[in-house]
Structures are given as C-alpha cells and as structure tokens.
With several copies, the nearest count.
Chain A
Amino acid sequence: MSGHTAPSLLLNDEQKMLSKTAHEFVRKRAPAARLRTFRDRKDEVGFSREIWKEMAQLGWLGLQIPHEYDGLGLGFFDLCIVLEESGRELMPEPFVSTLLLGAQALLLGGTGAQKKALLAGVAAGEKLVSVAYEERGSRDFRHVETVARASDDGFEITGEKIQVLDGHLVDAIIVSAATGGGAPTLFLVDSNAKGVTTTQQFRIDGQSSAIVRFENVAVALDSVVGELGKGAALLQTVFDRAAVGLAAHMLGASEQALADTLAYLKEREQFDVPIGSFQALQHRAVALYTEIALLRSVVLAAARVIDEQPEEVPRFACLAKALASETFLHVAKEAIQMHGGIGVTDEHDIGLYIKRAQATYMTFGEPSQHRRRWAELHGY
C-alpha cells in the first residue's frame, strides 16, 4: 500500500484529545495493579462497575454506536483510540465482551428491536452483552456442539460454552448453536432465561469469564441474530472487527510494557552504570520499539478500513491480529527479562503483561491461522 493510496493513519484534533484524555484517565484511575486485587479476593465481578460507568459518561462506550441508540455515531477508529489506552493498564473492564463482541454482533446482524433493546444500554454503561462461541470440544467456531432444536414457537438451546467473557455478568448472551443441518445460527438470549446457568472462571489474565450452560433454553423466533444457518459468516465478520479492536488494546499494552521497561533500563544500575547503557539490551529494546511502530501503523490502518473500506477488512484484520499477537508476546517476554529478578515477582506489575499477552494471543485466532487466511485472501 503506497503512500498516496494508504488509508489516513492520522488522528484529527478531536481524536488526539480523546487519546490524551483516555490516557490520563486510564493511567490514573485504572492501574494494572487492580488485577491482583480482583484476583486475590476472587472478586465476583473482576472489574470496576464504577469505572465502566464513568467511561460511559465520558461518551467512550458509545463512540461508535449510532445516534439513534444514544451513541456518538463516530467510527470504529475512535473506539480503537480508547481501546489502545485501555491496554496500557490491562483493563479488565468488559470492552471485548460488550463493545467488541456483543455490540458488533448487534450492529452487523441485529434486528431493529434487538438493537433498540440493548445498544443504548451499552452506550450508557448499563447493559453488558457477550458472545458465547468457545466450546471444549471444538477449536473451530464454525463447528458447534451446542444445538438449537426447533420448537413450536421458536427454538430450544442446549449446550455448554466455555470462557464466555463476562458470561456470568452480562444481561444478554449471543450464543452460537447448530440449527438444521448443523450450521450455526446466532441467538440473543436473556441471561436470566430459564435453563441458563453460569460458573465463574478464573484466567491468568484477569479477564472475567464464565462457563455458560444452556439446558433446553427456550427462545423465540425473533431472537435470531442475523440469518438462520448463517451464524458462522456473521461471527467471522464480528471477529474481524473484534480482532482489530483487541489488537488496539494489545498495541497499548505493548507500548506501556516497553515504556516501563525503558524507564527501568534508565533507572536500574548494575556495575555502576544504568543497565540501559549496555548495547545488547539497547539493540533488543530497539527491536521492540520497531515492532511496535509497525504494529501501530497496522492497527490504525485496520481501524480506518473498518470505517471506510469494508471489503478490505478481512485482510487488515488478519494483519493486525497476527502482528499484535507476535509483538505483544515478544515485548512481554523481553520486558520481564530486562527487569531481571523483580520481573518475575508477583508484586511487580510487569509480569501481568505476559499473562494478558498469552490470553490475547489465543483469542480470535493465533498468528498462523491469520497467516493462512491472509494467504488465501491473496490467492496462494
């Protein structure tokens, strides 16, 4: 993509201001150290509902949600600005479940009624929505063992989903279940519906999640999201966006881990000099900086493309998520190594980054899966 055909990769003045404000908010209000607190008390929520509400009041949750649902009607690009900052402190708030999965599924496939019922609540920070798609027995979201059997006035869903992000906390769950012929369909299910049970799970990265079991859960015909039997294609489109949004989060996390490491390299002295004066570490730090600079270009482009060139989204989603996964994990490993002994202690924040890095690496496709899809998209 040459200079004059590349999408615009710059922030306008409002976006720069948004970035700055979000940066300050996150660094001040939502330090990564919170993750240990939530973990140690086995917090039933795992994040701060107040902070989520505050972000809603600042308009950040509704950035991309259309005016008609009380959002600001801006772009996915704007949302990514906030997501990037959320990554700096590894915020466990429900960005992925609600803004990247639930809201995108509704925006892309929801009926007017479904959107109306939920999107305004999402923008207001009052409603949480997640998508339940992971199963124990399958690593391919196109193949589901959860089934939705046609009933007199709708469907009955039975099955189990694992690691549903915020699954025990959300108001509504969009679940993939096999309908006639085995192809998945997405259904919008009220979390309080009879037959839905959740069990909280505890992951290394502190992202709230749950096992969600569906036992003959009755849903009406109008609970289908998108088209019957076409859930896989819709999910793929949702994942493409979610992957880009998550990549923005990972970009922020990588940047902060490097920033913390650079600060440590300048401050920590051994052999009577700052360890950052050792050339071997300098060159490795430059390698990290370089990877992050590439990642930044790619994330900005992918976010822009979601708003402006829908046909290019799959290509850029692969690119952004593959690079984000490799870069974040690499940065996180090097950050620990350069911190030395304290880097592996639980009390220092830098070790939290590798846990999020591993979790995000495994979410919405590993790099090799994205490279395979990229190759297919390029015809080889």
Chain B
Amino acid sequence: MSDLNIFREEARAWIRENAPRSLWGTSGSGPFEGYWGGSKDLEADPDILGWRDRGIEKGWTAPSWPKEYGGGGLSVAHEQIIHEELKAIGVPRPIAGQGLAMFGPVLLQYGNDEQRAEHLPKIARGEVRWCQGYSEPNAGSDLANLQLRAERDGDEFVLNGQKVWTSHAHLSDWIYCLARTNPKAPKKQMGISILLADLGTPGITVRRIDLISGYSPFCETFFDDARVPAKNLVGELDEGWTIAKAILGHERSSIGRSIARQPGSAEREVVARARKHLGVGHGPIPDPLLRDEVAGLGMLEEAFHLTLARIEQSSKSGTPGPEGSISKIVGSELKQKRFELGMKVAGILGLGWEGPGFDDDDLEYTRDWLRSRATTIEGGSSEIQKNIVSKRVLGLPEGKK
C-alpha cells in the first residue's frame, strides 16, 4: 500500500473519530463552506467550535502550510486526501474562508517572513478573518482601472478611495487590497501594489450592499485618509498586478467548479418542484413542454459535469485541455437555467417576497433565483470570459475593442 493510501486510512479514521456527529452530512466540504472564524462573527455551536479546536490541534485547518505558521506541514497531495475524506461524509473543514483559501497562499508565495509569521498563524487558528478588496465602482471588468490611492507618507501609506464587492467585509478583521501606488505609471497595469489593512483602522468604513434578492454578504469599503504601516506592502512596490492576476485566474477556474453541485441535483430539484406545484406525485410530468425543458436541463447538467470530470482527468494526466476556460460560462448558465425553470413550474406561487401565503421553500427559491442573475456577472462576467476564450483559446485577433 502506498504512503498516500496509508495516509488516507489514517485521515479517514481520525476524521470519523473526531468530527462531531452533528456535522456529518452538513457540508460540501469546499474551501468556503463552514465556519469562517474571526473576531466578529461569533459562533455559538459547541460542536462547530470543538471541531475547529480539534483541527487546530492536529494542524489540519491548513494541512499543507508549514508547521511554524500553524499548518500541518503536509504535502498538497496529503491535503487533498484530507479534503476528500471530509467530503466523503459531508463534514465541513474545521475552518473555511478567504484567509485559508485565498490570502494565505498569496502570503506564502509572495509575502516576507515577517508577514507570514504575523498573519498566517492567526488565520490557521481562525482568530482573524480576511476579506478581499479588488473591484471598484469604475474597475469591474476593467479591474486594472482601479483608483484606490495609496500615498507613501513616512512609514505609512495613506489610503483614499473605495472598494466594492468586498464580500463579508462587515464580518472581517483585515482586508488585502489592490491600491494604486504610482498614478504616473505609463500603463494602468503598472503602479499597482498589494496592501494589507486592519479594518479597525481609523478612516475605513464598511457599508453593506443589498442585492435584488435581499440580504447579501457584499459590502462597499471606503478609505478616507486611512493610514497603514508600510510593512503591510506584499511583494514589490508597484508590481502587484502580476500577483493579482494569478489570484484572479485561480478564482475563475474555481468558480465554475464551485457552481457544480451534486450531479443530477439541479434536475432532481426541478422535478421535485414540478411534482409539488403541478400536483403530480410520480410518473411523467404532465406538461410535455415542461418535461422537455427539464430533460434539456438535465442533459446540460450531465454534460457540464462530464466536462468538469474530463478537465480534471486531463489535468491529472498532465495534459490539461483548454476547456477549463469555459466552465465558468457553462456553469453560470446552467445555474440560471435551473432557477428559471424552477420558477416556471411554480407559477404564481413563485412570486412571493415574504410573508403569508408562500411557503418557506418557495420564498427561499425565489430569492435564489434572483441571486442567480449575478452568477454571469461576478467573478468575471460571461462577456469577459468569452473575450478570454476568443483570444487565448480560439486565437481570434484582438478587436480594436
């Protein structure tokens, strides 16, 4: 038996022994599903807190980070086995969120030792929660157009400007953000740096954003002469764009996959809604047009999952195909179609916003439907994805825009 197989058995045993029963089957075990920690979003469930503590103890909140930074010192392959074994029984990771999934890896790769020592252990212990400050009102698809100014003043940078879509900023302790440190750089991709800021810094304010679906984790974060120590610069001054692009690429490829739920689940969900709302407990859906649409959705879903599987298999075999770039496009379209069809079968019972006469499932579904309109916009709009595929995969000539 190979080392990894032995490790898998150990991991499986440890997880099943230590993960509280109440958490089994509660999570897809993804990097963003579970308790995010930090000082503001206090968790009361003792099982969740206990599981966090067992994970910290074991070093498995960040299995592949060095032990000196609170990690487990394991290889990425070992880490993946842990996550697979969690997923197998639907137990969330002991801690989840931006810090572990996105910011920690950035700091490991681009930060300095002092920064790593300061920030990583607190992330691994779930003490500090991070959020990301990228987009701005005039820097969405054209992210490089960002205008948050960071001016050096002695040992500090003075930040002025605004970030938007800073998810969970109201629940976070720190933010890592892109700022313009040299407004005179010859190209707008130049002169950008990555800075870290304590959200408690005077001059930083956070405002929540509601979506058409209602409550959302999105925020706007305003900077008004907010002073940040110069040591909070990650990487080289004015050279943050390269790092930012790497993070974005990682994010894009993970979004398509994150949309993917259990294969067949979208189809089953819509069928169940059809049965509920059309009053047919079993057998064929009586409306042949609806049935045809549901089957079309089911086929698209299956094709999408098979394509994800193919991409995964190809990348494992060392010959990743260019199809990865389309998973965001297809995944988000699939998600929208699912909710559109689920709304269609509900008829007027899908029109509730709140209150009497609508059941909770239907109310939630309607909010999810509205929320799904953002799927083709966030994380790089479908239009941007198509531009990328057109240029990088199909090799079509750059338009003059």
Contact = CB atoms under 8 A, between A and B. Distances in A.
A371 B299 contact: yes
A240 to B, nearest CB: 16
A375 B383 contact: no
Contacts of A374: 295, 298-299
A320 B15 CA distance: 40
Given A2-B263, A270-B140, A337-B376, A375 B394 contact: no
Given A201-B356, A211-B356, A297-B309, A282 B400 contact: no
Given A289-B389, A346-B211, A371-B292, A341 B383 contact: no
A56 B24 CA distance: 57
Contacts of B252: none
| Most A Cβ at <10 Å: residue of B212, B347, B398 | B212
A354 B373 contact: yes
Given A203-B351, A280-B386, A346-B210, A273 B394 contact: no
A134 B348 contact: yes
Interface size class of A (residues with CB under 8 A): 35 or more
A211 B357 CA distance: 7
A262 B298 contact: no
Best-buried of A203, A211, A380 by chain B (most CB within 10 Å): A380
B211 A344 contact: yes
Interface string A255-288: 0000000100110011111101111111101110
Interface string B261-281: 011100100010011001100
B105 interface: no
Nearest to A262: B394
B307 A378 contact: no
Interface string A289-315: 110011111101100000000000000
A37 interface: no
Contacts of A134: 348
A10 interface: yes
B67 interface: no
Contact of A372 (B267, B292, B303): B292
Interface in A189-212: 199-205, 211
B294 A375 contact: yes
A165 B120 CA distance: 57
A372 B210 contact: no
Interface in B183-216: 209-214
Contact of B397 (A266, A340, A343): A266
A363 B356 contact: no
A335 to B, nearest CB: 10
Nearest to A329: B340
A262 B357 contact: no
Nearest to B260: A2
A193 to B, nearest CB: 21
A346 B212 contact: yes
Interface string A100-129: 000000000000000000000000000000
Contact of A362 (B310, B347, B390): B347
A340 B282 CA distance: 41
B33 interface: no
Contact of B393 (A287, A289, A376): A289
A204 B366 contact: yes
Contacts of B159: none
A358 B401 contact: no
A368 B349 CA distance: 18
Nearest to B396: A276
Among B282, B291, B394, B401, residue most surrounded by chain A Cβ atoms (within 10 Å): B394
Interface string A8-34: 111000000000000000000000000
Contacts of B19: none
A1 B309 contact: yes
Given A204-B366, A281-B383, A319 B303 contact: yes
Interface string B333-350: 000000000011001111
A380 B348 contact: no
Given A205-B351, A375-B285, 20 more contacts: A2-B305, A272-B142, A274-B397, A277-B396, A278-B399, A280-B386, A282-B396, A286-B390, A293-B323, A297-B323, A298-B302, A337-B376, A337-B377, A340-B141, A341-B378, A347-B209, A354-B370, A362-B348, A362-B351, A376-B284
23 contacts: A6-B305, A9-B310, A10-B314, A162-B348, A203-B352, A279-B399, A285-B396, A290-B326, A290-B329, A295-B303, A298-B303, A323-B299, A333-B373, A337-B373, A337-B377, A337-B382, A345-B210, A354-B212, A362-B350, A363-B348, A374-B299, A378-B271, A378-B295
* 5 closest residue pairs by CB, A with B: A6-B309, A351-B212, A371-B295, A346-B210, A270-B142
Interface of A: 1-3, 6, 8-10, 39, 134, 136-137, 139, 162-163, 199-205, 211, 262, 265-266, 269-274, 276-283, 285-287, 289-290, 293-298, 300-301, 318-319, 322-323, 333, 336-337, 340-341, 343-347, 351-352, 354-355, 358-359, 362-363, 366, 368, 371-372, 374-376, 378-380
